Chain A
Amino acid sequence: DAKTTQPPSMDCAEGRAANLPCNHSTISGNEYVYWYRQIHSQGPQYIIHGLKNNETNEMASLIITEDRKSSTLILPHATLRDTAVYYCIVRVNNQGGKLIFGQGTELSVKP
């Protein structure tokens, strides 16, 4: 079973920041938080991951709370092409093949 809880859906206006929350209250000290997204009719795409520090790359920022029980993925300037299902996954790094996907959050970016 997935170790994360995400809202099933969210809307965001184009050009605004999209903030996607994820709860992972049972996360262990050696587990990372990963975010993937799946655009319709495509396979999942890696976005970002982190352990306890906030992370930023060219796609997004990841904010992890100090107690690590929740995190937020931030798309700073959402575009229509960011409409997708976003998955938050927790797992030990270098654990092997298994990514456990939950239901994810369906983000709709609207003009």
Chain B
Amino acid sequence: DAGVTQSPTHLIKTRGQQVTLRCSPKSGHDTVSWYQQALGQGPQFIFQYYEEEERQRGNFPDRFSGHQFPNYSSELNVNALLLGDSALYLCASSLEPGAGYGYTFGSGTRLTVV
């Protein structure tokens, strides 16, 4: 049973560009959350998608947007990349917005902005 799958695993982009990261949730899960983890820091919540809608959002600018598809997979889009956007981006899936114990995380996408 596959867990959470994220692609790509690594990505290098130039400042000002746009990037799309992808996430396939664990089988049976219908909710996807995205986190940003800067080097040496804990993950920071970006937003959560459930039933193809953004349900909850953290303290991130509108440059960060997302989408959830009918098959529950999700994309994270970041526009006008800044050097400070360099981080590990983690996707977590769960069954409904759910309890704190029900989250399965992927291994993340390492984004480097140069």
Contacts and interface: CB of A to CB of B under 8 A. Distances in A.
B92 A34 contact: no
Given A44-B90, A44-B105, A46-B103, A97 B42 contact: no
Interface residues of A, number: 25
Interface in A81-111: 87, 89, 91, 93-104
Does more than half of chain A's interface fall in helix, strand or loop, or is it mixed? loop
B58 A99 contact: no
B43 A97 contact: no
Contact of B100 (A42, A43, A89, A104): A89
B41 interface: yes
Interface residues of B, number: 31
A68 interface: no
B99 interface: yes
A45 B105 contact: yes
Contacts of A42: 105, 107
B100 A34 contact: yes
14 contacts: A32-B100, A42-B105, A43-B4, A44-B90, A49-B100, A87-B42, A94-B97, A95-B97, A96-B56, A97-B50, A97-B55, A98-B48, A99-B92, A99-B103
